[in-house]
Structure 1
Amino acid sequence: MKTAVPSTEVHPGTEAVSLRRSLKLWHLILYGIIIIQPTAPMSIYGVVSNAARGHVVTTILVAMVAMLFTAVSYGRMARVYPSAGSAYTYVAKELHPLGGYVVGWSMLMDYMLNPIICVVWCSVAAQDIFPAIPYAAWVLAFVIVFTALNLRGVQSSARVNAFLALGMSIVVVIFLAYAFHYIATVMRPIGGAWLTPFYDPTTFSARRLFQGTSIAVLTYIGFDGISTMSEEVENPQRNIMLGTVFTCLAIGLLSAVEVYAAQLAWPTRTPFPAAMEDTAFVHVALRVGGRFLFLLLNGTLLVANMGSGIAAQFGAARLLYGMGRENALPQKFFGVLSPKTAIPRNNVLLLGLVTLTGSFLLSFERGAELLNFGAFIAFMGVNIAALVHYKFRSGEKVKLAATVPVLGFLVCGFIWLNLSHAAQLLGIAWIAFGLLVYFLMRRTKPHNSTNSLSPS
């Protein structure tokens, strides 16, 4: 539940404001880990475990394979459009503007859903700590905080984000120390018990595994933010792709270790109860480390999800502003800034209302699936764009020009098809609504041919 805020583009020819190429490969990997967060799989652990009947480690690793192929496609397309770093741009310019619009509209759904599932998770987690305060009160409180901070334009700095990532990493190490001590002294698995987090024949179901994988992909959302740094990194043709791939690999392996320890400490032959599902990982922490670890991990994830939700709401407001300014949405409402704060106030307030409503209508699981519906539309689009460019249009020779994007598309498509039917229907309805908006705007603005969704 994290998002990279879209970066401002620097156009060619403006030498006075050109960016310095000072970032090395390890800078990119660190940046990617900060975006995705070291605690990435913890918030979705219970939901994935229930969906996949306990095979969380396997879902994380299968999702990693899909992301590695797609990461290569993102890295390759960043060579072609080094200042954009956007799935929207790749698809619109390589395939068709309407295809780019669909990808951009899907990305908008992600930005709008991200604060909703963050509010849902934070409200459940806060209620775990203070059960006397009702869920509705927590939802209202978090929505007000998110919206108020975005109205003031309060955004965390890169230094703060790095500090938070370091703090989260320390908490992860503390959890793993407690968990493996508990496993060694209390659970004491022997023989095949060490492998049950990967495969348990008593609960395994291929259909349920891929349904869980379709949610587990949320662990990696945000890796594409690395492509926005194409103008500031040394040797971007090489390092953007390597940084993206190595980030996915690092997050995947770290996440697998985290959920492996959790599964060994709390074997899940039966689903987590509904009241515990969203915050299952912190209940594992309570078992292995007592009240101290429970409060530490709960507080850490609260801060992480609040930061993600605030950033996602900010990104959505900016994306809506870009759409309104270029007449992809009604400009009088969406394309205006507050004269006092230079913030798209209308969009922030609208998103606050959407977040408040959605937090009562959507469960964490359904919201996560819908978010991944939009993400996979973008991922599949980027893989097709990479295939078309490097196989059929570009004279540049790259290894496995067709194999990598085709495999990326097929794996992403297969996981996308394993989303729940409810999520697929709601996602298709969202795209249909977007297409209706697109054609209505074209009819009312016949001389406008830019209908761009790219935030500026």
Structure 2
Amino acid sequence: MDQGTTPPAPDPAPYRGPGAGSRLTRRKPVERLITESGKGEGGALRRSLGVWQLTSISIGATLGTGIFVVLGEAVPEAGPAVIAAFVVAGFTALFSALSYAELAGTIPVAGSSYSYTYATMGELTAWVIGWCLILEYGVSVAAVAVGWGQYLNELLDGTIGVTLPDALSAPPGDGGVVNLPALVVVLLAMVLLLGGARESATANAVMVVVKISALLMFCAVAVTGVRAGNYAPFMPLGVAGVNVAAATLFFSYIGFDAASTAGEEARNPRRDLPRAIILSLVIVTVLYCLVAAVAVGAMPWQDFTGSEAALAGIMEEVTGHAVWSVLLALGAVVAIASVVLAVLYGQTRILFSMARDGLIPAVFSRVHQRTGVPRANTLIVSAFCGLLAALIPLGRLADATSIGTLFAFALVNVSVVILRRTHPRATRGFRVPLSPLLPALGFAFCVWTMTGLDAVTWTVFGLWLVGGLVIYFTYGIHHSRLGRPHEEAR
């Protein structure tokens, strides 16, 4: 076997199997997770991705709507202290990123935190995490696609003087009938994914270069309009405002874990997955803080209210020429399309793992022999996300995504500590320093950030969890492969 697929060394007291406890707490042995890596119904995923492609997947899934669109929603909540809010959200993500890096290097499979919790906390917890990941990935694809439509209108207006009517560019509730551009970008991403993991990763890498260049261009141009007075008072809405803004901006960091969903398509996952996760988060955090600092310095924070394409507006105001805002809008269109592509990829791979375990229908784990892609999975997920993007407003989608992600991240930090105890001698490509202190801080930051979300978001999250539990107890628990005697012997 290659370095990426070598099972962990057996421990002195290995896990005795799901029969040792209730069905709800049965755990999937780490060795079995590794053994099943890459295998699906009728075919197998292909190991074709290197460290830079994996890093691009995480950057592609992260860097986009958060800075291009959600910034306009967060600045009115914190004022110039939105810079501090980005730092707080970044620290929340950092501690969890370290835990993800260790787990991805220890259990390099496609299921991300779903698989990690299956090995450490049991099936019910794994299902809840998988259900939260559907919220994180599936719903965020829709939220990001909505932002793409907003910048597409900016681009069309600046180039040919035409904008799509609200009826075709906004969902019901935002003055429209259907958000057609949001649906289109999801379908375009679907076409790229159907071509194969390596092909779609290459396309994503090109788009990542374009969007980083666009943000650096914004900073270079907009810095000429920075006024010191725009930073005072720095924290007009107090610490509470920073907390609320950090909860909103955490949406901007969702996606750094996307590389972990490529664990079964990475050439050397134990080495490359931890590097990709940490490197992508560092690059994204630096860019976010830089762009936020320039943006609030170039435009009074009160003027951000209702500005969904804030960066493009700043460019035009600072320079007095529409050409710069058009160039930024072009970069944003490419940037946000990259997020849709990378996040949609992650969602399909998580569902692939859940289906392989029997918790959802087997169609999601069926791999096309020629392309090595879970084709039916990709088609179904794209249709679902496309409909959400076309019919649901952005703000509610972003908040719902954040709470699901924070919940999953909190339990990933717990999983690191548990796996250290149950598999102390497992091969690890990376180890979280100062464990269990840093994982504990990661857990605490996630919980604290969740308190900044409003009651409506918590209600939606609660209803989502209830719906997920209904599906698990009516389908998943009865079809779980871990619960079948002949599967236990494998």
CA distance 1:317–1:215, shift in 2 (3 Å): same
Question: Mean alpha-carbon deviation: is it higher for 143-152 or for 247-256?
Answer: 143-152
**Equivalent in the alignment of 2:396:** 366
Quick one: which amino acid aligns to residue 91 of structure 1?
A: T
CA distance 1:442–1:163, shift in 2 (3 Å): closer
What are the Cα deviations for residues 353-392 of structure 1, in whole angstroms up to 9, with x where unaligned? 5533554333x22211111111112111110001222256
Correspondence 1:449 to 2:486: no
Question: Mean alpha-carbon deviation: is it higher for 148-157 or for 137-146?
Answer: 148-157
Q: TM-score, normalised by structure 1?
A: 0.79
Match of 2:332 among 301, 306, 310: 301
Q: TM-score, normalised by structure 2?
A: 0.74
Asked if 2 retains the 8 angstrom alpha-carbon contact of 1:214 and 1:419, the reply is yes
Partners of 2:357 and 2:244 lie apart in 1 by 38
Quick one: which amino acid aligns to residue 60 of structure 1?
A: F
Match of 1:42 among 55, 63, 68: 68
Shift of 1:137: 1.6
The percent of aligned pairs where both chains have the same amino acid is: 21
Matched ranges for 1:312-323 at <5 A? 312-313=343-344, 315-317=346-348, 319-320=350-351, 323=354
Match of 2:298 among 265, 271, 277: 265
Shift of 1:125: 2.4
Matched ranges for 1:286-435 at <5 A? 286-289=316-319, 290-313=321-344, 315-317=346-348, 319-320=350-351, 323-324=354-355, 326-330=357-361, 344-345=375-376, 348=379, 351-352=382-383, 355-357=386-388, 359-362=390-393, 364-390=394-420, 394=424, 399-435=433-469
Asked if 1 retains the 8 angstrom alpha-carbon contact of 2:96 and 2:439, the reply is yes
Unaligned runs of at least 5 residues, structure 2: 1-32, 39-43, 170-178, 485-490
Asked if 1 retains the 8 angstrom alpha-carbon contact of 2:105 and 2:270, the reply is no
Question: Mean alpha-carbon deviation: is it higher for 141-150 or for 343-352?
Answer: 343-352
Match of 2:200 among 148, 154, 157: 157
CA distance 1:124–1:169, shift in 2 (3 Å): closer
Partners of 2:103 and 2:447 lie apart in 1 by 19
**Equivalent in the alignment of 2:16:** none
How many matched pairs? 422
**Equivalent in the alignment of 1:56:** 82
Asked if 1 retains the 8 angstrom alpha-carbon contact of 2:75 and 2:82, the reply is yes
Partners of 1:212 and 1:85 lie apart in 2 by 30
Quick one: which amino acid aligns to residue 123 of structure 1?
A: G
Match of 1:282 among 312, 329, 333: 312
Match of 1:119 among 120, 128, 145: 145
Partners of 1:437 and 1:151 lie apart in 2 by 30
Shift of 1:23: 5.7
Aligned-residue CA RMSD (Å): 3.8
Correspondence 1:253 to 2:286: yes
Quick one: which amino acid aligns to residue 47 of structure 1?
A: E
**Equivalent in the alignment of 1:87:** 113
Partners of 1:255 and 1:34 lie apart in 2 by 14
What are the Cα deviations for residues 33-91 of structure 1, in whole angstroms up to 9, with x where unaligned? 45533885223210111232342211111111112211111122223213456111111
Shift of 1:242: 5.1
Partners of 1:340 and 1:235 lie apart in 2 by 27
CA distance 1:133–1:195, shift in 2 (3 Å): closer
Partners of 2:421 and 2:231 lie apart in 1 by 41
Partners of 1:115 and 1:344 lie apart in 2 by 18
Correspondence 1:75 to 2:105: no
